[in-house]
């Protein structure tokens, strides 16, 4: 079984976004309580990190946030994911920026799948890590790697950052809210993390 990999550039942006969401004091408190290194509060720590190590840290930070905030963690992580989308667009390579510009010129009804495919390419480290499928009128976003669920176990889905990214990307593309539900999660022992997206319904 191959090691889970995650982009150090996205990890850097994730930590930057968490720092904005929590504030410096809360971020340091969370790291201290979770017995995680204090330097993890500095985004630049992760700029050139090995992708396997990046995946471990990405999962560890999300686990620490879930423990620290309890039931409130879902809202915090959703907001982090939503903020993170703008940074992924900002950091996109020329091909990604060109695709983003093209999406905005597509008919509104077909922008959703193209946007999710752009997101899939942005967060996967190689082709096939994340796939997008059509289910009748709905869409399915499937994360086959899911670094957030790496070596973590839960009785319920935990990939709130990905859920926030999906929501933000679709709102960016269409100006509309979508109901995004994680219907399976690797943290629950399932093979993939799957998100069902239903148009025209706010969550």
The H or E element containing residue 9 is helix 8-22
Task: Quote the pLDDT of residue 203.
Answer: 44
For residue 168, pLDDT over 90 is answered with yes
Please tell me the pTM assigned to this model.
0.94
CATH of 8-199, one of 2.102.10.10, 3.40.1440.60, 3.90.1520.10, 1.10.10.10: 3.90.1520.10
Domain edges within the chain: 8-199
* Cβ atoms 31, 4 nearer than 8 A: no
What does the pLDDT average to over 129-149?
A: 93
Residue 12 near residue 61 (C-beta atoms within 8 A): no
pLDDT in tens, 94-136: 999 999 999 999 999 889 999 999 999 999 988 899 999 998 8
- Residues contacting 119, CB < 8 A, separation 6+: 85, 88, 130, 141, 165, 166, 169
Distance CA(198)–CA(203), nearest Å, equals: 10
Q: Which residues contact 30 (CB under 8 A, 6 or more apart)?
A: 22, 64, 65, 68
- Mean pLDDT for the chain overall: 93
In the prediction, which pLDDT does 66 show? 97
């Amino acid at each position: 079984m191959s090691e889970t990999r995650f982009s150090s550039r996205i990890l850097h942006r994730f930590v930057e976004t968490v720092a904005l969401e929590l504030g410096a004091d809360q971020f340091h408190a969370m790291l201290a309580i979770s017995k995680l290194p204090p330097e993890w509060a500095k985004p630049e720590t992760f700029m050139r990190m090995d992708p396997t190590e990046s995946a471990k840290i990405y999962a560890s930070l999300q686990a620490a946030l879930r423990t620290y905030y309890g039931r409130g963690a879902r809202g915090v992580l959703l907001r982090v994911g939503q903020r993170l989308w703008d940074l992924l667009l900002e950091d996109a390579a020329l091909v990604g920026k060109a695709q983003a510009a093209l999406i905005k010129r597509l008919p509104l009804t077909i922008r959703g799948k193209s946007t999710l495919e752009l997101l899939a390419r942005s967060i996967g480290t190689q082709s096939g890590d994340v796939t997008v499928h059509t289910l009748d009128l709905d869409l399915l976003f499937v994360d086959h790697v899911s670094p957030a669920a790496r070596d973590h176990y839960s009785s319920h889905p935990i990939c709130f950052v990905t859920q926030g990214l999906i929501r933000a990307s679709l709102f960016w593309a269409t100006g509309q809210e979508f109901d995004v539900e994680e219907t399976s999660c690797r943290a629950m022992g399932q093979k993939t993390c799957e998100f069902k997206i239903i148009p025209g319904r706010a969550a």
